[in-house]
Structure 1
């Protein structure tokens, strides 16, 4: 916890906070929020955060999100808030969200709604950081899930220790602890917690979870224990250690890709010409005003993003594809590796092929030495 706060630039607010006894932080001291579900991991994090923040002279609060997906979820959220207040956390905010499934699954929709609510609370409170209670077990499960869904280096890197979302800084201090250890912390401190029934904790170890349970719960309950028995080793620690190494490789590749993108990404007006000057960052422009009854050529649409083929052609495929993936992500396009590879072929294997269709009505098309990424209103509504 101390290392996490220091990495975030949150330091001890004065010498008196290093002395024995309880010292009230100043009202102007930095505020750290704990994202708390009321489960064992987040209750352990709330208790640890309160202790360490007090020793730093830093204010410590909590935010609880009620997804409304289970009967009585509002009461569970209130109980979590009461437990946080008894620990001394202040402020404690409870937010109810509406989870709207839009095709990516309920889990993804709930996660998006949760982060939006947490960001809103953190911004309103002026929080310096938000702490998440993901453990080493969560890290291992995430890697397995990402390998099942996508693969690649990013899947092996797992969850980062820290990240920024909408100018709010998030950190995960418990990635070096197991779920057994957070359970022990709660037991040692006499803390009560809530077990989410969707996690399948009520099932016997040799009992298969029904197929309608979340994928993460099935990975946790069945697949990880099987891998542990099969390998005869601590698969959770092995996957978590691998994630640390892969994260360093990912960080380096991301830095190289960002450097290349600074030259490869062209401004909207310039991308109509093959030899246009490179811009320092992507230019995100409004989509063309195509009518619902027309289907204009994607090459004539105002580009949301454009890449110079001449710049990207000389780069390694690992860098090219990362530049493409970063650009798609910046536009909020939920593209798969198949989409990224298809766009990359417009660079490395160009033989006059047609446009690449992407989610959200976007299309990537090569015109001479420029790849234009456009959103066609008619295409999106087709």
Structure 2
């Protein structure tokens, strides 16, 4: 079958992403023409497939690319159970993946429990937990996600609506690790129109999620997910205002912001290694308190050496604090991070900074301790 330009681009992007992850051709025979079976113990790549146009296109292209490299290629379909007939939709997606030749093809039903951040966030968190579990069980070396350039532009706008700063502009990373599992987004430079076209090129059937608003005429109802309203209302409005399609512009801007974010994160993590000690760390990295080396007590989750952190640039200082709290499992907001920053640079005996889940940060001499409320009284 002759490849269209969009199919060649999709193949090239996926090959590059796999190579970046260290997944290259398994043996010279796969460089020769013809179909060659992957070894039974060849690395397994899984496609996270919803049955929609993007993930069905990725499943088909991944099968082609993995076969040419000697990699095994399978799929996992997560059934969130949040819509009537979701089990039938999941099984239909699995059937299409099997027809394409993917193996194994796994359907995993999950229970989505509301966590207070909305159903979209709860579904995403439950989905990733299940994907990580499936990757471990099947010993997959990578999981492919079908996010496109359009998804990246939408994510950037959602970030700006919900957050602030460089991180809000950075969109989605092309790769990341969660629970020790490598996730790859090979198609952040490919438009949704291309995945739709690939489905036409390969005669693929797909399912359109009604909550994406594809069939709604006019402005979407307010009860539709934010991403759907950004896709169908906000992005078209920006395009009309700018006089042209802004999707590529926003997605490429997100990529540049992501580079800056990654560099700042690396710098911050190096400083964190010197300035922050977490509960359970060994005596090789003690907190110095009044000239005496001391290991963190059981009530304190982390300590910050204010003198070390005070010498850093404000951008790095804020990231160190935010990263430390995140690592301790404390979801602090920007105002709370700023308040701890003032304990570092403008300390004049002020009281503790209150944090979520009953934690607080309090400074004594040059050490800031983050611990459960009430624990500071004994320090």
User: TM-score higher than 0.5 here?
Assistant: yes
1:56 alignment partner in structure 2: 69
Aligned counterpart for 2:310 among listed residues 306, 309, 313: 313
Kindly indicate whether the alpha-carbon contact (under 8 Å) linking 1:265 and 1:278 is maintained by their aligned counterparts in 2. Answer: no
Distance 2:132 2:366 in 1: 41
Aligned counterpart for 2:186 among listed residues 143, 157, 173: 173
Aligned counterpart for 2:85 among listed residues 59, 62, 72: 72
Distance 1:185 1:166 in 2: 32
Distance 1:118 1:23 in 2: 28
Distance 2:93 2:168 in 1: 32
1:366 alignment partner in structure 2: 363
User: Any idea what the Cα deviations from partners look like across 1:228-272, whole Å, max 9, x if unmatched?
Assistant: 110113211011111121111111111111111111013559548
Deviation at 1:151, TM superposition (A): 1.5
| CA gap 1:77/1:274 in 2 versus in 1, 3 angstroms | farther
Kindly indicate whether the alpha-carbon contact (under 8 Å) linking 1:262 and 1:278 is maintained by their aligned counterparts in 2. Answer: no
Distance 2:160 2:342 in 1: 24
Kindly indicate whether the alpha-carbon contact (under 8 Å) linking 2:287 and 2:294 is maintained by their aligned counterparts in 1. Answer: no
User: Any idea what the Cα deviations from partners look like across 1:38-72, whole Å, max 9, x if unmatched?
Assistant: 00000010011000000000000001000000000
Q: Which runs of 5+ in 2 are unaligned?
A: 1-13
User: Any idea what the Cα deviations from partners look like across 1:286-333, whole Å, max 9, x if unmatched?
Assistant: xx6xxxxxxxxxxxxx21011100000010110000001111111222
329-338 vs 183-192, which moves further: 329-338
1:130 alignment partner in structure 2: 143
Distance 2:187 2:278 in 1: 42
Tell me the TM-score normalised to structure 2 length: 0.91
Distance 1:49 1:151 in 2: 36
Cα root mean square deviation, aligned: 1.9
Distance 2:139 2:374 in 1: 38
Distance 1:40 1:25 in 2: 27
Secondary structure of 1:201 counterpart: coil
Aligned counterpart for 1:38 among listed residues 51, 64, 86: 51
Aligned counterpart for 1:248 among listed residues 259, 276, 283: 259
332-341 vs 117-126, which moves further: 332-341
Deviation at 1:160, TM superposition (A): 0.3
Aligned counterpart for 1:183 among listed residues 191, 196, 200: 196
1:326 alignment partner in structure 2: 323
1:356 alignment partner in structure 2: 353
**Aligned positions of 1:228-377 closer than 5 A:** 228-266=239-277, 268=279, 270-271=286-287, 273-275=289-291, 302-376=299-373
User: Any idea what the Cα deviations from partners look like across 1:98-118, whole Å, max 9, x if unmatched?
Assistant: 101011111000000000000
**Aligned positions of 1:137-148 closer than 5 A:** 137-148=150-161
Distance 1:83 1:90 in 2: 12
Secondary structure of 1:306 counterpart: strand
Kindly indicate whether the alpha-carbon contact (under 8 Å) linking 2:277 and 2:303 is maintained by their aligned counterparts in 1. Answer: yes
| CA gap 1:41/1:278 in 2 versus in 1, 3 angstroms | farther
* Equivalent pairs, count: 358
Distance 2:232 2:294 in 1: 51
Q: Which runs of 5+ in 1 are unaligned?
A: 289-301
* 2:94 corresponds to 1:81: yes
1:111 alignment partner in structure 2: 124
Kindly indicate whether the alpha-carbon contact (under 8 Å) linking 1:142 and 1:159 is maintained by their aligned counterparts in 2. Answer: yes
Deviation at 1:376, TM superposition (A): 3.8
Secondary structure of 1:128 counterpart: strand
